[in-house]
Structure 1
Amino acid sequence: MNRLFIFIFIVSLHVQAQKEVNYPEVVYGKENIRAAWVSHPDIKGGEDVAVLFRNTFNVDDLREDFIINISADNHYFLYVNGQFITHGPQLSDIQHYKYETLNLKDYLNQGKNVIAVKVINFGKRRFLGMQSIFTSLMVNGVSENAKIINTTGFNDTWISTIDKSYKANEVVWRGDKEKAIVGGFYANNPTDIVDMNNYPTHWETLNFDDSDWKKVEFFENASSMGGSIAYLLEPRNLPLLSWDEERIGSIVRSSKPIATEFPVLGELKIAPNSKTTFLLDQQYVTNGFPELIFRKGKSAKISIKYAENLFGPNNEKGDRNDLENKQLLGYYDEIISNGEDAQKFIPNWMRTFRFIEFEIETKDQELVLQKFVNHRSRTTIPSIAEFTSDDETYNEIFDICKRTIDICTQDYFLSDAYYETMQYVGDTKIQGLIWQAMSGNAEHTKNAIRQFDHSRDSEGNILGAYPLRSTFIYPTYSLVWVDMIADYYNTSSNKEFIHTYKDGIVNTLAGFEKNMNELNLVNKTPYRYFVDWYTGPNNGSGTATKNDGLNSAVVSLHYVRALQNASRLFQEVGEEQTSVTFKNRAEEIKKSVYNLCYDTERNLFAERPDKTIYDQHTNIMAILTDAIPENEQRALLDKILNEEDLLQATYYYRFYLFEAIKKVDAPELFDAVQKPWEKMIDDNMTTTLERFESAEKPTRSEVHPWSASPAYFYFNYLAGIQSVKNNFGEVRIAPVFGKLHAMEGILPTANGNIIFNLKRTKNKLTAEIKIPETMTGTLVWQGTEIALSKGNKTYKLKGSK
């Protein structure tokens, strides 16, 4: 590639040595589990608490594998002989509770060893995606030599203590108390308050004195009564998360002169009986587990605040590189020093930040900050896609989109990295496609589709987000789940995947059909039809105005789209009658939408039959569903991009707007639709926003994958690289360029990397393309089509335009 991407400095970047033994194929299933769930005898219920567990044992032969299963409620951190191994479990629900399978052989010593596990229950304000029954741990020896560490609660050798240094710090976002964050709804975990005076330093190491710890107590069997009284276990189906050491940026502002380059270089000494504040700028948004190592400073209070951005006097954001007269408003951890050497703090849940602010108040002893680094958290599936064009703005947009997707692909898809961290259906439809373009891997997408399938209620509704301990229902997202299955099939040609979910598709569509009225439009429901974040006076909390979606044309057309996708899927598996039923129902609704909502004077679809509201969204979906004849679709698209009084599609719904441009083959419109992303670049953002700025709804999340769609369409539309069948076993490359004249990059696929360098001069195309040996395909340019050859080849084509 000719262009250098923004450089992220990772200290001692490495591939994590520890691997999930059951990924990508299950080797040790739940039938091997003989252990039980255990806890500390003094645990009462769902209180916020940290419980420390230890098991000391002997190993005679270091040549043998030492394989265990491990899981916990809510979350665990695993250490062997003082060395951090991993944390988990993978997020799921009680009926599909995950366990990790690890081979600890390389971390063991001849003779005496210790396994140590910290289990955190985040309490009543825990992350909304985290289902829980009881603070507990399960460790099961799979290999014969590992059975000595099974948790049973009766005759095992596990001991535990409650970490009295910890309590959960609720992130206040509502009520009468001072708010900890700007932007409202917070569904992430509490942060940490830790008093090191009560912390059992070195508890995870072999020689720690644990003589006053208590024997663990049995909670429940891992399996019984044809299932489980507690958790229904199943193996982790995605790789472990990374734990790469990432350098944290330098101090850019402080309340007092600081003569050190901490944390990049050197220690930072804070004088006794003083108050000090300083701000660190990472220069790009990242996430992970920041680690602070410090000494001395008896009774000093250290507050560490994290934020994606800084805020001006009226909570405005503006240029993210402009720090003048701006403050950090965000969640924080609080630590009290015990005055000793080698104190260490790592938060119990992932933090997301560009900026970190320390507020330190010392007492009678000097405090010394020795080291501050981030342990970066990502899926370890490689994200290797690259894209460069002759337009630097496109290149910068690609970078911020890719970084957003990378940050939010953990062991599930995060809707945003700071405020919610939940896996929403509508968000995931977009994120899954982009992640597959970045990595060539669809395992996260398949995991999400399966988890959404688990969420279905008795009425056929897919929960709006899942895993979830609440009940969010957006009926439109139930339809999007069907679309996700179609998206996956479009790429993979995997008919078995359709068979897996066809009963669920029928149930979901039958459930949505109950929302339809005698006009063949949607009724109100007890729930919310989420379409987009409308702005201005037409803000119905996700729908156009506050009428609860009654007779909404765009929602009705979303149903049409799901029916059309379902019809095609059932046709693919030979179920013709069901296919025809769905197709005919889609046609009925399309006709009703056209007859009732199409305005023949304006040549536009209104959002509902009273023709009081007009938006881009309805017209976009009319194009995608062919609710308007194909030969009129281009004119409709031009119209909605030029009439300023229409309610605008924001970042989320512009995915569908890009799809409409692609459908009518109007690449010259792509740049205009992408304009809002240029504002992000102008504001020096390094990740993508959740929504448009407005007076009543200021932008909130700054790491929001549903806004990363340009990166997907750079490959899928501008470069024109698409899978024809068998998960890129056969490809079609039909570049359209838009305003661009040159594009090059790497698109990873399940069959290997496609490397391309495309240039156009008027109607001539020069294409250097390398496809893997296992791949076939065609190159298409302005009516000319030729077969692609294996290996690296250069093609010169002259078009007819």
Structure 2
Amino acid sequence: MTGTPPGSGEDERWLGHWIGAEPAPVPGLDDAVTGTASGRGFSRVMFRKSFDLDAVPETAPLRLTADGRFVVWVNGREVGRGPVRAQPRRWRYESFDIAPFLERGTNVVGVLVTYYGRATSWWHPAPPEGGINGDACLVLEARLSGSVVATDASWRVHRSTAWTSIGASGVPCEVLDARELPVGWTRPGFDDAHWPTATILTARHWGGLGRSRPPVSPFGKLLPRPVAVLGGATVRPAAVLDARIRARPAWASDHPAARAVQQLESSGEPVDGGLPLSVTVGADRTLDTVLDFGAVTAGFVELTVDAPAGTVLELGYREKPKRVGIVETTSDYESGARYICPGGRADYSALEPAGLRYLYLRAHAPEAAEVTIVDVAVRENVYPHTGEAYFSSDDEELDRLYRAGIRTVQLNSFDAYTDCPTREQRSWVGDGVVHQMVHLATNEDWRLAEHYVELANSPRSDGILPLSVAGDFEQYEGFTIPDWSLHWVHGVHNLYRYVGDRARLAGYLPTIERVLRWYEPYVDEHGTLSDLPEWNLIDWSSVFTTGRTSIVSALWARGLAEYAELSDWVGNAGSAAWARERHAGVASSFEDFWDPRRGLYVDHIVDGERRPAASQAANAAAIVSGLAPPGRWEAIAAAMIDRSTVVTRSWIGGDGGYDTRKEEEQRRGVQRIDWDAEWEIVRAQPFFSYVVHDALARAGLADRIIDLLRDWSAFLHDGYDTFGECWGWGTPVHGWSSTPARDLIVHVLGISPDLPGSARARIAPRPGLLRNVAGAAPTPHGLVEVRIAGENVQVDSPVPVRFVEPDGASREFPAGSHRLTIRRPALTTDATSGSRRARLQ
């Protein structure tokens, strides 16, 4: 069910009241002063309403929302879930057409609402105002051909005792005792007479005037869902890797995921066969099973099991297999669930989404019990990849990289762009710019690309953006990564180029200016940024931002240049002039970072001394910001990708994982140089590589990008079809690493906007040694397609085209089909290698 059904428009007056299981707690003075959330902890509340229909209407628009997440059923069939993550003051509702679920006669709407009690990685409590917050609450209405079903005091409610939650690092772990579930409560015929009726919740704050219908504080005017409905295939395990009967251990932890992997190295009796799997367990015997889905998937874990009441299934979700004999941190195994069987054949469907490749399952019971694991699956719940955009070539490696980039982004595209589906599911402000660019280049549905900018438009009180939004980090308003806000600025500029919605984008410019002005107190007497506070990450590579920083100064300058362009576009000449003045101030002293001996910019200057450490990040940022003189660009770009001098280093990880010693040293300000800083250049990690590749293209070396993209093939091994977090370590599905999918379209085929709103397409093919390559990219006006065979180029475009030759010469053509030729430069396969150190010495 996609789209907004008729009669559920955003501006229609709500007929439903906010209702709850009982009056929400009234905050005391301490709550109002400290901002702590008054109310319950974790709670799940069932809401139910029966109604009769003489006939089933053609359409039946329903809209609803809840604090914090809901599942809605009609006549026992799941209709949908929601709402999308949002800040409480910009809360969202969901719309569905429930006509296909209705029947003549008695019908039932059932809603399960989860209130988390404390902030998670994707939810944070509303401000403590009393009345309509501090507990599970719901507002709903359905318009049924002249009649209305809406939340009021006639609804039945039940606070469930079936669920508890174990929280860890922002992702709650679901524990369900299915013996406590009311059987059939979402279907007609269930006797709910013993359930209490709902309480209408009213605003109790000054000025609230007892209102109970939206709009009312703290949620205000409810906003419609801005993105597509999630979904996907149902994925089943590719293999049962291991199944054994073992002696039940003494539990070392209460966490289900920890229990699921406990003592895997101990011996046991192998169980033959795959699913279904039938064994006898008991007080002293457990079934331990390891299932491999073949690749990482993301969604809702589903089980079918036949077992006596009280049988316990401990589930552990992992992206990589448990390494026997290796001590791991809690974050490595914290994702999972516990299911206590109700007795007989039963189905379990998780309420919390999870990402995993390996599912560890341990079954045990208080006494001897025959247990059959009938089925295990993941019902994927990811953002749809739609349309006819594509990339193909005569090089299967590049085609595979394109597909992997799209899949990596999809597994990190839910109701927001996330870092990874397994570990956190947070919407990091900086990471999302790569997801956004991949969607703009490959997915005809741009709604999530636009919503990325909207969701993150939530500045801290001092103007900078949080680490991540609509979750725990934003609520706590702790330290942030300031340069993440500069990547968000780039995301706004991307929408200007691709979408060109002037009225909408103009609303983001005040936030951009606040972000850019946040840096002004740190502009030193030279005009560059110095002694920046908070966490200046850049990416996980070993770069320096202490003292006077070339990297953040250049990223700031890129933001200033983009803001000036946006300000001109909306007619704000004053802001454009301020931004260009600030950009000129940085440019006036950026030469201080130049090392003429190496022909590169160094990372930083400390106490007036230019330190030798240099990185791809510093030099790429110098180019894309326009701070480096154009005459230097080609030489800088070639030098920063010379494989004879480029080294891979990270302050916190390496050799397959996070390095706790390095992490602790980093926190204490110890940054050890374990490379030759006089000659070697620190490589960007996959995230900042998008800036490196943009710099190469701007410097006229886009042909070199193909060779660099092949480095991402290192992630595609052992069945993994996605890109990992960092070079050689980190999570195996990290959205910020997906730039190859964008680069193959934007830099290799050369398709990108040439005027705001994609009013004209820029076609600048740089296929390198590829002889045959083709692809299509979406625009608001239709697909732009480019097909290259040797020196012949076929362009089909719904908008005018500017065709750019490798030497920079360009020609303009009207919309339509055009047969062109491209003058290929001489290229060798070792264009990014050599012995630059020897030449310099």
Contact 1:120 1:348 in 2 (8 A): no
Contact 1:123 1:168 in 2 (8 A): no
Q: Does 1:382 align with 2:389?
A: no
Residue of structure 2 aligned with 1:711, choices 741, 763, 775: 741
Equivalent position amino acid for 1:434 in 2: V
1:688-724 per-position Cα deviation (integer Å, ceiling 9, x unaligned): 111234xxxxx33222111000110100010111122
Structure 1 gaps, min length 5 = 1-17, 172-185, 318-327, 536-542, 694-698
Equivalent position amino acid for 2:165 in 1: A
How far apart are residue 396 of structure 1 and its match? 2.0
Q: 1:353 to 1:168 in 2, by over 3 A?
A: same
Distance in 2 (alpha carbons) for counterparts of 1:600 and 1:272: 72
1:422-481 per-position Cα deviation (integer Å, ceiling 9, x unaligned): 22221111211111222133221221212222x113322122321232325222122222
Distance in 1 (alpha carbons) for counterparts of 2:348 and 2:308: 14
How far apart are residue 482 of structure 1 and its match? 2.2
Q: 1:20 to 1:270 in 2, by over 3 A?
A: farther
Equivalent position amino acid for 2:279 in 1: I
**What SS does structure 2 have at the residue aligned with 1:200?**
coil
Residue of structure 2 aligned with 1:396, choices 377, 394, 400: 400
Equivalent position amino acid for 2:639 in 1: K
Equivalent position amino acid for 1:230 in 2: P
Q: Does 1:757 align with 2:787?
A: yes
Contact 2:67 2:138 in 1 (8 A): no
Q: Does 1:775 align with 2:803?
A: no
Q: Does 1:413 align with 2:439?
A: no
Q: Does 1:208 align with 2:190?
A: yes
Q: 1:241 to 1:130 in 2, by over 3 A?
A: farther
**What SS does structure 1 have at the residue aligned with 2:519?**
helix
Residue of structure 1 aligned with 2:688, choices 653, 661, 668: 653
How far apart are residue 383 of structure 1 and its match? 5.9
Partner of residue 306, structure 1? 317
Q: Does 1:231 align with 2:238?
A: no
Q: 1:441 to 1:257 in 2, by over 3 A?
A: same
Distance in 2 (alpha carbons) for counterparts of 1:629 and 1:450: 34
Distance in 1 (alpha carbons) for counterparts of 2:239 and 2:490: 45
Distance in 1 (alpha carbons) for counterparts of 2:489 and 2:71: 36
**What SS does structure 2 have at the residue aligned with 1:52?**
strand
How far apart are residue 607 of structure 1 and its match? 1.4
Q: 1:47 to 1:524 in 2, by over 3 A?
A: same
How far apart are residue 289 of structure 1 and its match? 0.6
**Bigger shift: 116-125 or 557-566?**
116-125
Q: Does 1:741 align with 2:771?
A: yes
Distance in 2 (alpha carbons) for counterparts of 1:462 and 1:299: 48
Distance in 2 (alpha carbons) for counterparts of 1:569 and 1:46: 46
Residues 50-199 of structure 1: pairs in structure 2 closer than 5 A: 50-124=44-118, 126-132=120-126, 133-141=133-141, 143=143, 148-152=148-152, 156-171=153-168, 186-187=169-170, 189-199=171-181
How far apart are residue 737 of structure 1 and its match? 0.7
Distance in 1 (alpha carbons) for counterparts of 2:279 and 2:565: 67
How far apart are residue 576 of structure 1 and its match? 2.9
Residue of structure 2 aligned with 1:38, choices 11, 14, 19: 19
**What SS does structure 1 have at the residue aligned with 2:347?**
strand
Q: 1:64 to 1:797 in 2, by over 3 A?
A: closer
Q: 1:384 to 1:396 in 2, by over 3 A?
A: same
How far apart are residue 260 of structure 1 and its match? 4.3
Distance in 2 (alpha carbons) for counterparts of 1:627 and 1:754: 32
- Give me the identity figure in percent: 18
**What SS does structure 2 have at the residue aligned with 1:555?**
helix
How far apart are residue 41 of structure 1 and its match? 2.5
Distance in 1 (alpha carbons) for counterparts of 2:586 and 2:7: 45
Contact 2:47 2:158 in 1 (8 A): yes
Equivalent position amino acid for 2:564 in 1: S
Contact 1:72 1:135 in 2 (8 A): no
Q: 1:626 to 1:787 in 2, by over 3 A?
A: closer
1:285-317 per-position Cα deviation (integer Å, ceiling 9, x unaligned): 111112112223332211121111124357599
Partner of residue 603, structure 2? 607
Equivalent position amino acid for 1:357 in 2: Y
**What SS does structure 2 have at the residue aligned with 1:214?**
coil
How far apart are residue 633 of structure 1 and its match? 1.3
Partner of residue 488, structure 2? 481
How far apart are residue 191 of structure 1 and its match? 1.4
Q: 1:128 to 1:92 in 2, by over 3 A?
A: closer
Residues 675-686 of structure 1: pairs in structure 2 closer than 5 A: 675-682=710-717, 684-686=719-721
How far apart are residue 59 of structure 1 and its match? 1.5
How far apart are residue 76 of structure 1 and its match? 0.4
**Bigger shift: 356-365 or 721-730?**
721-730
| RMSD of aligned residue pairs (Cα, Å) | 2.9
Partner of residue 427, structure 1? 431
**What SS does structure 1 have at the residue aligned with 2:574?**
helix
Q: 1:493 to 1:160 in 2, by over 3 A?
A: closer
How far apart are residue 211 of structure 1 and its match? 2.6
Partner of residue 364, structure 2? 361
How far apart are residue 110 of structure 1 and its match? 0.7
Q: Does 1:581 align with 2:578?
A: yes
Residues 594-743 of structure 1: pairs in structure 2 closer than 5 A: 594=591, 596-609=592-605, 610-612=609-611, 613-642=613-642, 643-644=645-646, 645-682=680-717, 684-693=719-728, 699-725=729-755, 727-743=757-773
Partner of residue 239, structure 2? 250
**What SS does structure 2 have at the residue aligned with 1:749?**
coil
Contact 1:251 1:279 in 2 (8 A): yes
TM-score by length of 2: 0.81
Equivalent position amino acid for 1:635 in 2: A
Q: 1:252 to 1:744 in 2, by over 3 A?
A: farther
How far apart are residue 779 of structure 1 and its match? 4.5
Contact 1:460 1:512 in 2 (8 A): no
How far apart are residue 381 of structure 1 and its match? 5.7
Residues 440-479 of structure 1: pairs in structure 2 closer than 5 A: 440-453=444-457, 455-468=458-471, 469-471=475-477, 472-479=479-486
Distance in 1 (alpha carbons) for counterparts of 2:123 and 2:683: 31
How far apart are residue 769 of structure 1 and its match? 4.4
How far apart are residue 417 of structure 1 and its match? 1.2
Partner of residue 351, structure 1? 354
1:91-140 per-position Cα deviation (integer Å, ceiling 9, x unaligned): 11111100112221121111100001111123336335444443333333
Equivalent position amino acid for 1:238 in 2: V
1:540-596 per-position Cα deviation (integer Å, ceiling 9, x unaligned): xxx62xxx73321111111111111111112223333332221121011122121x2
How far apart are residue 789 of structure 1 and its match? 7.9
Distance in 1 (alpha carbons) for counterparts of 2:144 and 2:323: 61
Ranges of 4+ aligned residues in structure 1 off by more than 6 Å: 783-793
1:77-96 per-position Cα deviation (integer Å, ceiling 9, x unaligned): 01000001100001111111
Structure 2 gaps, min length 5 = 26-38, 127-132, 245-268, 647-679, 827-841
**Bigger shift: 426-435 or 241-250?**
241-250
How far apart are residue 277 of structure 1 and its match? 1.5
Distance in 1 (alpha carbons) for counterparts of 2:508 and 2:343: 58
Equivalent position amino acid for 2:601 in 1: F
How far apart are residue 652 of structure 1 and its match? 0.8
Distance in 2 (alpha carbons) for counterparts of 1:21 and 1:213: 33
User: Would you say how many aligned residue pairs link Structure 1 and Structure 2?
Assistant: 727
Q: 1:792 to 1:208 in 2, by over 3 A?
A: farther
